[in-house]
Amino acid sequence: MSGLSRRVGLGGGSIIGGRVTMALDPDALRSLATRRQVVLVTGTNGKTTTSHMVAAALRSLGLVAHNASGSNMADGALAALTDALDAEWAVLEVDELHLAGVASATDPAAMVILNLTRDQLDRAAEVRRTAAAIARAVVAHPQTTVFANADDPMVVWAASEAVRPVWVGAGSVWRSDTVGCPSCGRSLTESATGWHCECGLTRPSPSWWLEDDIAHGPGVSSRLALSLPGQFNLGNALMALAASVTAGVEPEAAIAKISALSRVAGRYARIQYGRHTLRLLLAKNPAGWAATIAMLDGSRPVVVAVNAREADGRDTSWLWDVEFERLVGRVVAASGERAADLGVRLSYAGIPHVTNTDPLAALAEFLEGEVDVVANYTAFHSLYRRLERAG
């Protein structure tokens, strides 16, 4: 089925495969999920990376079905299960607003909730409403072990009714959407032991945490030497480690698998294109950008590509919540279908730049060598497809 969709040119293949099966049998997801151990991974940023980490670690226990391409709605989950009928395990990245539906069909052994910040407001309305939807999924599955980020107040609020919570101190790089308490709206107080609110909502004491790059957990104290860059990915790795060790993977084996991961569905890939070596990064919202800016190499030129299609969110306002000021001093190109919106934003950030809607054409302005390319969702995928064809 995936072969067919690729032949007719419908892109990744996994989504269309799922749709066809769904049309044949509405209960397909439910029946395909029975007798498997299902792990659902959700959150605004890091779903794809973390689910790849969990899948890599669980493979030391057996076959794993995984929606590796990032098709993260019910049909993507269905396609992943259809493609691996023999797999005893399933790791499914799930869109936050589809968690409740996918969970009710798959009765998951575990849910991993990474972070909840603003993504695409024109589609998903407010963050709190997303958190409330996740809270309902948590309450509906008392048997499920819920791995939740203790450093993200919105996640803690969403997971607060979990019967079997495992709190993970995965860190948070961006708190601007939850300045107020998710429960009562008061200002949160920060202290050495974390955040808390007068109403009682408090950072739970985590059973897994990081001390620099040392991961601590029940019976675990090991250094994480990741191939992937950034503090944000250390947090993702800790979440993946907690979930896979709890599932029964030996800690050392899990750490080896997680650390070896060097690219995730094209993200972090290094690709030679003409006289440039491109490092591809995906950032699709202010929180994702905050994590990504920390990964950029100080001296490299940067191409930023922004689209505003349905999957990206039509509204480009979020560009004004990205701290592009931190790119001052670098050579920058504004690119993608919304290059003009981005270019205006960069000018107000005091950043001279070249503008070209085509990110590969924009490279012509740069000296040979290494270039960081940061793109949002559809801009990333169209660029990656072009590079794959060219490569």
Q: Which residues are near Zn ion by CB under 5 A?
A: 181, 183-184, 186, 197, 199, 201
6 vs 326, beta carbon nearer other proteins: 326
Q: Which does 276 bind (CB under 5 to 8 A by kind): Zn ion, other proteins, none?
A: none
Q: x/- binding map, residues 352-381, to other proteins, per CB under 8 A?
A: -x-x--------------------------
Binding partner at 199 among other proteins, Zn ion, none, C-beta below 5 to 8 Å by kind? Zn ion
327 and 347 Cβ atoms separated by less than 8 Å: no
Instruction: Quote the least distance from Cβ 335 to Zn ion, whole Å.
Output: 42
Q: Is position 311 an interface residue for other proteins (rule: CB under 8 A)? A: no
Cite the DSSP H helix spans in the chain.
2-7, 14-24, 28-33, 47-58, 74-83, 99-106, 121-124, 127-139, 153-159, 231-246, 251-260, 286-293, 339-348, 359-362, 377-390
| Residue 221 found at the interface with other proteins (CB under 8 A) | no
Q: Is 320 near other proteins (CB under 8 A)?
A: yes
For the CB of residue 168, give the shortest distance to other proteins in the complex, in Å: 27
Nearest to 339 by CA among 320, 316, 318, 323: 316
Of the candidate residues 91, 265, 334, 363, the single one contacting other proteins (CB under 8 A): 334
Selected from 347, 358, 370, 386, the binder of other proteins by CB under 8 A is 347
Handedness of CA 43, 47, 53, 55 (dihedral sign): positive
Scanning residues 186 to 205, which ones bind other proteins (CB under 8 A)?
187
What would the two tokens of residue 44 be? 């605004």
Shortest distance in whole angstroms from residue 130 CB to other proteins: 12
Closest CA to 32 of 88, 71, 73, 70: 88
Rounded CA separation 172/297 (Å): 21
Residues 6+ apart with CB under 8 A from 159: 113, 134, 135, 138, 146, 148, 165
| CB contact at 8 A, 48 and 84 | no
The whole-angstrom separation of Cα 120 and Cα 123 is: 6
Nearer to Zn ion, 180 or 229 (CB): 180
Three-class DSSP category at 114: coil
Segment interacting with other proteins, rule: CB under 8 A, options 20-28, 71-79, 333-341, 358-366:
333-341
Q: Which of 88, 107, 161, 321 binds other proteins (CB under 8 A)?
A: 321
Would you state the structure tokens that stand for residue 270, as one six-digit string? Answer: 């290094």
Closest CB 158 distance from Zn ion, rounded Å: 14
Residues 152-181 that bind other proteins (CB under 8 A): 179-180
Q: Which residues form the interface with other proteins (CB under 8 A)?
A: 118, 121-122, 125-126, 128, 179-180, 185, 187, 314-321, 334, 339-345, 347-348, 353, 355
